[in-house]
Amino acid sequence: MKTEKMQTLNRIQVALGERSYPVYHGTDIMGHLGHLLKEANIGRQIAIISVPPVSVHYLNTIVTGLDDQWETLHHDVPDGEMSKSLPVADELYAWLIQNRFERGSTILALGGGVVGDLAGFVAATYLRGVNLVHLPTSLLAQVDSSIGGKVGINHRMGKNLIGSFYQPRFVLTDIAALRTLPADEFICGLGEVVKYAIIRNEGLYEELNGNLADLQADNTERLERIVKICTEIKAGIVSRDEYESGERAVLNFGHTFGHALETYFNYQGFKHGQAVLLGMCCAIDLSLRLGMIRESLAGDLLGFIRQVTFDLPATFHDADPEKLVELMRIDKKVKDGKINVILVESLGKVKRETITDTTFLKESFQSILKEDRG
């Protein structure tokens, strides 16, 4: 590939010393993969892990774009959150062993957040670690989950309870992949975009407020700008706090509530990004109950989030707030038996709070359980 073609790639660096890596982003850039693999100087074997709805669109493009230097393997896992499990991980280990996959080789995660988390977990643990490359095809993965090294699988008792921090060699984010993204997956990505707008970027909030629901996957120029903004925010925070010992915790805004909802409903009926949207509503409600923000700001932020509509499980309104709070107690961010959540102080500013009175948590869950999001 000619050097001048590389000018179409934009690059954002995640600065982590010897674990630093670039996030390349742009439109119609999948063809650069072979050059980037060579530049990274990694082994000849490439194991592509994906899901059928993604591989049908992009696998042939990727494989045919690689020259004879690469030996490619491909394995699809079932689409959906349930694939983030020990049985599916074990299936992938067996596949890699049977194909004599070597330590210096590379796992390529082709897909959304589920594929990235699962493939990343396998890459981190197979042969004590092989190379990992992310090629995210969902908005959620492009703006959030492919960046920062969080990899993991779910346990029946809670989401993402088994995992590690394992940084990729690079991330290749092609905005063109969003053109084939289903509407519900696009909504999931909007959940993470909303998060960044509230916790860090007032300009993004102002741009999207009032027309968030009109943001479409075919608006390439606008999406490319938004993905860039979110990537810069995430890369900056991760560079300063790789292992979530301080600042990085703000990225969990809405997630502790959302993970409890996902676990309660056994990952059925709505997706991760939708659960996070609901979780952010809970966090805003709790911020108001604790006197951290004015009612007017709470109303504005809730109105911003509620621009994104989606269907809820039929049994959603009957969920038990008491059980939801109990599920929060087994979240990764619990410390000394106490629940920690990220709450709002003002637009663009959030903080971690330790909650000792669970009555407020139950009331915040109740505030969303009576909503109609459709």
Among 309, 80, 331, 349, which Cα is nearest to 212's?
309
Say if 313 falls within a structural domain: yes
Q: What percent of the chain has pLDDT over 90?
A: 83
Is residue 146 in some structural domain? yes
Q: Quick check: is 100 in a domain?
A: yes
Are residues 198 and 174 located together in one domain of the fold? no
The residues, any chain, with a CB within 8 Å of residue 53's CB and separated by 6 or more, are 79, 182
**Residue 280 is part of a domain; what is its CATH number?**
1.20.1090.10
Between CA 159 and CA 222 the distance in angstroms is 32
Burial label, 296 (beta-carbon count in 10 A; 0-12, 13-18, 19+): exposed
Distances (CA, A) of 103 to 49, 128, 155, 210: 17, 8, 27, 50
336 and 356 inside one domain: yes
Are residues 263 and 153 part of one domain?
no
Look up residue 190 and give its DSSP letter.
Answer: H
Which residues belong to the active site?
128, 150, 192, 234, 244, 248, 252, 255, 259, 272
pLDDT at 3: 35
Long-range CB contacts (within 8 A, 24+) of 335-339: 339/256
- 76 and 176 together in one domain: yes
Domain identity same for 114 and 188: no
Question: How many domains does the chain divide into?
Answer: 2
Name the band, by pLDDT with cuts 50, 70 and 90, for residue 214.
confident
10 Å Cβ neighbour count for 30? 18
| 180 Cβ neighbours under 8 A, 6+ residues apart | 57, 137
* Domain final residue pick, 180, 207, 242: 180
Residue 5 scores a pLDDT above 80: no
Q: Is residue 273 part of a domain?
A: yes
Domain with 336 in it: 183-216+253-369
Phi, psi dihedral angles at 139 (to 5 degrees):
-60, -40
Residue 86 has pLDDT above 90, yes or no: yes
> Residue 333 pLDDT more than 80?
no
Q: Please say which residue of 180, 198, 227 terminates a domain.
A: 180
Count other Cβ atoms within 10 Å, centred on residue 137: 30
Instruction: Give me the pLDDT at residue 261, please.
Output: 96
pLDDT at 270: 86
pLDDT score recorded for residue 353: 95
Q: Is the pLDDT of residue 328 over 50?
A: yes
For 305, the 3-state DSSP assignment is helix
3-state DSSP assignment of residue 58: helix
pLDDT band per the 50, 70, 90 thresholds, residue 217: low
Cα pseudo-dihedral 364, 322, 160, 170, rounded to 10: 0
pLDDT tens digit string along 171-207? Answer: 999 999 999 999 999 999 999 999 999 999 999 999 9
- Indicate if the pLDDT at residue 68 is higher than 90: no
CATH code, domain carrying 135: 3.40.50.1970
- Is the pLDDT at 4 greater than 70? The verdict is no
Q: What is the pTM of this model?
A: 0.93
Q: Does the residue 242 lie in any domain?
A: no
232 within some domain:
no
Q: Which amino acid is at 366?
A: Q
Within a domain: residue 231?
no
Answer whether residue 236 is part of any domain: no
Q: Are residues 273 and 298 in the same domain?
A: yes
Is the pLDDT at 280 greater than 80? The verdict is yes
Q: pLDDT band for position 155 (50/70/90)?
A: very high
* Other C-beta atoms lying within 10 Å of the C-beta of residue 348: 15
Averaged confidence pLDDT in the chain:
93
Report residue 252 as tokens: 């969990």
| Phi, psi dihedral angles at 309 (to 5 degrees) | -110, 150
User: In this structure, are 123 and 190 located in the same domain?
Assistant: no
Beta bridge partners of 164: 151
Indicate if 151 and 188 belong to the same structural domain. no
Clarify whether residues 270 and 167 are in a common domain: no
Per-residue pLDDT of 93-125, as tens digits, reads: 999 999 999 999 999 999 999 999 999 999 999
Residue 294 and residue 174 share a domain: no
Rounded to an integer, the average pLDDT of 78-98 is 97
pLDDT given for residue 6 in this prediction: 41
Confidence of residue 210 (pLDDT cuts 50, 70, 90): confident
Confidence of residue 134 (pLDDT cuts 50, 70, 90): very high
Boundary of a domain, candidates 157, 180, 203:
180
213-219: average pLDDT: 73
Residues 200 and 342 in one domain: yes
Residues 107 and 207 in one domain: no
